[in-house]
């Protein structure tokens, strides 16, 4: 039998990975994160639920791990994608707040030179998208409830902490450091 659990439902579980100095580094799938622990490159900081059995020893399933050696890691840029724009905008139309039939709106229409960019793309419901059509925002009387921004990687990490109570202290700590 293999020593490390690989293909299983556990693959859907995401783990918070801290740098050696406890700053949040990334989020990765359980099997990848566990491999780091198994190889002695990381330690388990926080656990959740079941155990992972290996040929050596049983581990409590990690929720947060910490790399033992500091790695220099320039924060990844968040990929511009439909999914990430929805996430940034909380899956809500930035014009009317609807959560139904979402699509993306080019604030400056593509036909008028509008780019595919974080600041020119907004989550939008079909209805508002059709209403706005190919016009500039000023021509429509429609108003953005939130100015589209370029999200940082930590922004998404922070969003995820709603789901993971035990990630909070690491993510919040980083936020405090940022505002100092």
Give the residues lining the site for Zn ion (CB under 5 A): 93, 95-96, 98, 125, 128
Contact status, residue 68 vs residue 45, Cβ threshold 8 Å: no
Q: Which residues contact 74 (CB under 8 A, 6 or more apart)?
A: none
Query: CA-CA distance, 54 to 44, in Å (whole number)?
Result: 15
Contact status, residue 50 vs residue 5, Cβ threshold 8 Å: no
Q: State CA 169 to chain mean position distance.
A: 17
Instruction: Indicate the residue among 34 and 95 with the shorter CB distance to Zn ion.
Output: 95
Instruction: Indicate the residue among 130 and 150 with the shorter CB distance to Zn ion.
Output: 130
Rounded to a whole number of angstroms, the minimum distance from the CB of residue 83 to Zn ion is 19
Rounded to a whole number of angstroms, the minimum distance from the CB of residue 120 to Zn ion is 17
Rounded to a whole number of angstroms, the minimum distance from the CB of residue 61 to Zn ion is 41
Instruction: Indicate the residue among 33 and 93 with the shorter CB distance to Zn ion.
Output: 93
């Amino acid at each position: 039998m293999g020593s490390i659990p690989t293909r299983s439902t556990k693959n859907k579980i995401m783990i918070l990975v801290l740098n050696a100095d406890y700053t949040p580094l990334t989020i990765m799938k359980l099997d990848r994160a566990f491999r780091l622990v198994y190889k002695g490159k990381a330690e388990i900081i926080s656990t959740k639920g079941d155990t992972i059995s290996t040929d050596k020893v049983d581990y409590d399933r990690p929720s947060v791990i910490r790399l033992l050696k500091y790695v220099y890691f320039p924060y990844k840029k968040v990929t511009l994608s439909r999914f990430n724009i929805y996430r940034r905008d909380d899956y809500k139309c930035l014009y009317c707040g609807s959560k139904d039939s979402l699509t993306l709106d080019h604030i400056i229409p593509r036909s008028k030179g509008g780019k595919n960019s974080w600041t020119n793309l907004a989550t939008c419901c079909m209805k508002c998208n059709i209403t706005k059509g190919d016009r500039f925002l000023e021509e429509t009387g429609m108003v953005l409830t939130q100015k589209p921004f370029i999200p940082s990687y930590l922004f998404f990490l922070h969003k995820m902490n709603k789901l993971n109570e035990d990630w909070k202290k690491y993510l919040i700590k980083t936020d405090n450091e940022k505002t100092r």
